[in-house]
Structure 1
Amino acid sequence: MAIDHKLCKDNFYIPEFLQNNTCTNTTREIQQKLESVNKALEEHLEKFNRERERLLKSKTVTLENIKKFRKEINDRLDELEKNTISDTEDKYKTFINEKEDSIRILERSKACLKSAQDKLKLASDNKLQIFVNVKKGENIAENVAKSVKATKLQTPFKDIDFAGDRRLDSLLHEINVFGKIEQRIAMKTENIGTVNIHKNDFLLQVKGCTKYSVNVQSDKKYCDIISACTLEDGTIILSDWSNSKLKRLDSSSYAVIDYCDLQGRPWQVCSIDKQQAAVCLHDKKEVQFISLSSKMALTNKIKTGFECFGLSYADGNLYISDYTSVYIYSVSGRKLKKFSKDQSGQEMFSSIRSLAVSENGSKICVADRYKGLIILDNNGIVVGRFNDSQLRGADGSCLTGRGSLLVCADFSDNVLQFGPNGNLIDEVVKFYDTSAFNKAICCNQQMSKMIIGRNRDEIEVYDLI
């Protein structure tokens, strides 16, 4: 039937085929091919098994981090409760002390009155003694009346009520989870080493530049804009080192609409949330928090014990650096991690100028004045480096929101753009005015503007295309 089944074109008679085709695959060749494919399949299966095991371990770590975050919230709530109780105790103590002082005065007056009354009763027929007691009684009565009148002025009596901060209640009702749960592509460990140069990613381009003054009347020196960041409402905060100020700019006119005097020299500034920002005061060895109400105001602070320069906020934690180390802190001020040496035990940094951290905290980008760009994962493992003549004197850095990183450099007078994995895309802009150092960089939320701060009274705003 197979021989006569002519409708199927691929049917053939095997003895005839073998007679006409001597070059056919042997059993050994097919066996080798099957073994090769089977080996590739087993390797692929093993790879997926390892990935499953890695995910299971990662799940355990992630769940532990959630519990750790919950504990930090509990610790912070305990601290808030302690502070609130302490404030309440202090206020009640003041009011109670006032009342106790008044009671003591009234009780002494009561004793004086009783004494005067008793003396008048005991005087009997002694006119001379009666006269003296009457005069004393009149004085006592007059003084007691004055004491009563003085205490009456203290009424109505004061009391204290507690009104909880409704922002906490509002926030708890607005959110359904502790934070963002996002899927990300894990960076492969084989990418460790010098970052390769690629130019196939989308390059930001500039088409124009406008300068805006950021000087305010109370400035005593020329501005030295050392850092810049964008807030959630679109406004921009500048860190003015020479005048020890934070300056808030309007998002469209770039005019200074508010400023805040600091108690030390500021370095990098970053946004925490809608209500709060933070700035490094390197000479004070602390991170200062700033309330972002209609008027910026200093709130609490974290004492670091080291000169702090780089500062970023991501995934609920603060990333702080001195010259040679990167630290991870909780917002309550507890030190969680420290990174200073690479996998081989060598010092990673020499003069850190700024930090830029991805939103989920998985990637820490470090701009080092002499060692260029170093990229770490959240465990402090180096996953990328770039140290080339194109990036000399790395200073300010910022993530664009599109996954790329911008780094401005003092000595090479330019801004370079790096891709998501730390690969150099290209030069965004070259500065030809070398009389000023390029220190601060940020972009607006629409990625239509790039703001550059320098050691002068004006910023440069570039249009991006």
Structure 2
Amino acid sequence: MTSADSSISKGSDQIHDYSYSKCEEDDVNTEAQHFCPKCEHYLCDKCASVHGVYLKKHTVYGRGDIQKWAGFSMDKCDQHGNKLKFHCDDHQKLCCSDCVTLNHRLCRSISNIPDLARGFSKTEEFKRLPAAVNKVGSVLDELKNARMKDQASLKDSYKNIIAEIKALRKEINKILDQFEKKSVQELDRLIKDLEKRVKDDLDTCAHMNDQLKTMVDKLQQITGKAEETDSYIGFRKCQTKLNEVTSMVQEIQRRPREGVMFKYDESVLPFLRNILGTVENVHSISKTTDNIHVFKAQIESHHSVKIKNDEKDGFILGICELPSREVVIADFNNRVKLLDQQFNVIDCVDLPAVPFDLCSIPGNEVAVASQAYDSVANAGDTLHEIHILSVTKGQLHAVRKFNTDHMCRSVIHHKSHLYVGSYDALYMYTIDGRLEKKMYEDKSGGRTVYKSAASPDGERFYVTNNRQHKLVTMDKNGQVLSKFEDPELKQPAGICVSPCGYVFVCGSVSNTVLQVDREGTQKLATVVRGTDDVCKPVSVWFNHASNLIVGKSKSDDILVIKLC
């Protein structure tokens, strides 16, 4: 037979508010730490573990869920089990006699609960409590529904990525069996971790909701002589729980949404083709989807990238991210700088000329388009170079370089090729510096090929026409598909494309960063404006954490904007 009353065992004068049922039957006085509603038994720590082995389907509640125990009363202290009689005005906490003695002896103001509770049930504050609980319950329900959608999205992402892995495996004709196995295992682990996070949030929401409903139900059932006192105690407990739930909700809402993405080293396929020589009819895998996600700025932060020996004002001309999650920037101080994941400068390399742009290439390396500054007026200047730098253990190292017969003002990488912009043309090179073709040219005057970017599948290339205020989209053969203009895109400069194909372009004079559709035909959003403390943005990068990293003219700061 269970017991929820205080008990005194033989040979002991210790009193427990809840005694462990089975121990009590054996004349052993043990305080209960758990309760099983199916068995209607109070359990100590030792026997709760035994209970869990034989009755795995029974839900056992600990002291943290004491309101679900049989015999739970709202007027009892959760910690000591005594009747709540006092209120510490200094700490705003309900107290029993033990609480006052042990924890609140030095407090200046201790009030009697009956005095505070007199007439309290008739106040507006008390009457508003159920509505406040319902409101928070609605928020919890909405949050729960959102997390359930995230859970379904993770499963869809899992299926899509498995399809990508299968397609890639077929393309290289069973060469990457081990790659598939390793990738799927990593994906399973990642999905398991992410699903656990989502499930934890779902369980927390449900648990908090149940607690609130239980407390309000108890509160509304209070009658009898101690109605006012018990109502006040119940209100204070509910109010504390509401504050706890509100903080929990805000914490979950501040977290970035879980998601997964599949990336592979694009140098693998060319490498295998060179080894085997028989791989034919290779088709690129499009990573774009029909869904359009419109981003907006959520949180922004500024990070200084100035170092001791910088002689000129900062001018962040190019930005890219490495697979190791480090960020590399091109600075007008003839420097390439390496930043850690907190955007602190950890290393730099000096070049003989200005690094006007850069991009990441396989092998944790960076290709840098370097150009003598005064060669803008003298296209015959011999200092037109592409430098290859490697990043190893947080340090930059010069690996090799090659010269070009034209200016080097921009550079991007796609599938073992470098695409170098010269201000009025876009050239395609091999990684080792062999010119293959002139892909696109516009001699209409001005900076017609200022910066460039490519879609993840390589089907579209984008160039910014700086002086004519246009974004030009072309196919992989250099055939122009569209030209985009917008009042909020004045002198377009830096441009980047996210792994999912979202296009972001800077308006250096309009002080904006726009999101443009994949076809390059319409503006989807003005993600960043001058009011967001952006002045003359000239470079932009979409990183792994869905942040936009923006480089500015004549500024030693980069702007990091969290997107949602």
Instruction: Tell me the TM-score normalised to structure 1 length.
Output: 0.55
Q: Does 1:314 align with 2:403?
A: no
Tell me how large the CA RMSD over aligned residues is. 3.0
Q: C-alpha distance in 2, partners of 1:180/1:387?
A: 36
Structure 2 partner of 1:297: 397
Structure 1 counterpart of 2:433: 333
Equivalences for 1:65-464 in 2 at 5 Å?
181-184=283-286, 201-241=292-332, 243-251=333-341, 253-283=342-372, 284-294=383-393, 295-341=395-441, 347=444, 350-371=447-468, 372-423=470-521, 424-432=523-531, 436-447=535-546, 449-454=547-552, 455-464=554-563
Instruction: Quote the offset at 1:272 in angstroms.
Output: 0.5
Distance 2:417 2:352 in 1: 24
- Equivalent position amino acid for 1:332 in 2: D
Offset, 1:206: 0.8
Residue type at the aligned position of 2:464: A
| Cα deviation code 1:222-278 (max 9, x no counterpart) | 21111101111111111001x111111112x11111111112111111001133111
Instruction: Give me the TM-score of the superposition, normalised by structure 2.
Output: 0.46
Describe the superposition over 1:145-202 as per-residue Cα deviations: whole angstroms up to 9, x where unpaired: xxxxxxxxxxxxxxxxxxxxxxx9xx879x997998434499xxxxxxxxxxxxx932
CA deviations 1:36-86 (Å, max 9, x no partner) are: xxxxxxxxxxxxxxxxxxxxxxxxxxxxxx9xxxxxxxxxxxxxxxxxxxx
2:492 maps to amino acid = A
Q: 1:350 to 1:292 in 2, by over 3 A?
A: same
Deviation at 1:351, TM superposition (A): 3.4
How many angstroms apart in 2 are the aligned matches of 1:406 and 1:247?
Answer: 23
SS class of match (1:389): coil
Is the Cα contact below 8 Å between 2:323 and 2:364 reproduced in 1? Answer: no
Report the alpha carbon displacement of residue 290 of structure 1 after superposing the two structures with TM. 0.5
C-alpha separation between the residues in 2 aligned to 1:446 and 1:315?
Answer: 23
Q: What is the one-letter code of the residue matched to 2:536?
A: F
Question: Structure 2 CA distance, aligned partners of 1:384 and 1:434?
Answer: 31
Asked which structure has the greater CA Rg, the reply is 1
Q: In the superposition, relative to structure 1, how do residues 172 and 213 fare at CA in structure 2: closer, same or farther (>3 Å)?
A: same
The alpha carbon displacement at 1:452 in A equals 0.7
The aligned length equals 278
CA distance 1:316–1:271, shift in 2 (3 Å):
same
Q: Distance in 2 between matches of 1:421 and 1:349?
A: 24
Runs (5+) with no aligned partner, structure 1? 1-65, 67-167, 187-199
The amino acid that maps onto 1:258 is D
Counterpart of 1:403 in 2: which secondary structure? coil
SS in 2 for 1:297: strand
Tell me: CA distance 1:442–1:329, structure 2 relative to 1, closer, same or farther (3 Å): same
2:336 partner letter: L
CA contact (8 A) 2:324 2:364 kept: no
Distance in 1 separating the partners of 2:525 and 2:531: 17
**Contact between 2:287 and 2:500, CA under 8 Å: does it hold in 1?**
no
C-alpha contact 2:510 2:536 (8 A) present in aligned 1: no
Aligned to 1:33: none
Q: What is the aligned partner in structure 1 of residue 73 from structure 2?
A: none
Which of structures 1 and 2 has the larger relative contact order (alpha carbons within 8 angstroms, sep 6+)? 1
Matched residues in 2 for 1:326 and 1:409: separation? 21
Report if the CA contact (8 A) 1:286-1:305 is conserved. no
Separation in 1, partners of 2:367, 2:441: 27
8 Å contact kept, 2:428–2:436? yes
Secondary structure, aligned partner of 1:380: coil
Shift in Å at residue 305 of structure 1?
1.5
CA distance in 2, matches of 1:226, 1:179: 38
User: Would the alpha carbon gap of residues 183 and 298 (structure 1) be closer, same or farther in structure 2, given more than 3 Å must change?
Assistant: closer
Question: Which residue number in structure 2 is paired with residue 16 of structure 1?
Answer: none
CA deviation string 1:311-349 (max 9, x = no partner): 10001100001111011111121211213457xxx8597
CA deviations on 1:99-136 (whole Å, 9 max, x unpaired) are xxxxxxxxxxxxxxxxxxxxxxxxxxxxxxxxxxxxxx
